[in-house]
Amino acid sequence: MRFTVGGLPAGATILSAQLKLYVTNDSTSGGVFNQITNNTWLENMTRNSKPAVDGVQFAALGPAALNSFVDLDLTSAITGNGIYCFAISLPNTNTNTVGYASREASNVANRPRLIVILQ
């Protein structure tokens, strides 16, 4: 997933950056979240053209319940205005997939949200 953060005042201190995701397919794992350094990938990528998962791991979530939200702390990753990319993968031992609502979700309240709080 990719977020463009813009409009933050120069010199502002980010107190918190929280990603809220709505679960559309429950799983025993909410996924492993890593930063991706390549921010130019196309949305119509394939398995063979996907960017490398080459960044820092920010979280490994436990079970994700259907029709609930999971919150992910990205404060250490969001440093100011810019483009930020993250990969969600599942542990090799996981036997079921997790699903999250996308930015095209019909219910606007269920779309992913990055909430940045400034000082």
Which residues of the chain, if any, have pLDDT below 50?
Answer: none
Q: Where are the domains of the chain?
A: 2-118
Q: What is the structure's pLDDT at 73?
A: 95
Q: What is the structure's pLDDT at 35?
A: 94
98-101's contacts with Cβ under 8 Å and 24+ in sequence apart are 98/23, 98/25, 98/26, 98/27, 98/29, 98/30, 98/31, 98/64, 99/23, 99/24, 99/25, 99/27, 100/21, 100/22, 100/23, 100/24, 100/70, 101/21, 101/22, 101/24
Q: What is the structure's pLDDT at 92?
A: 87
Backbone torsions φ then ψ of 75, nearest 5 degrees: -55, -40
Q: What is the structure's pLDDT at 95?
A: 84
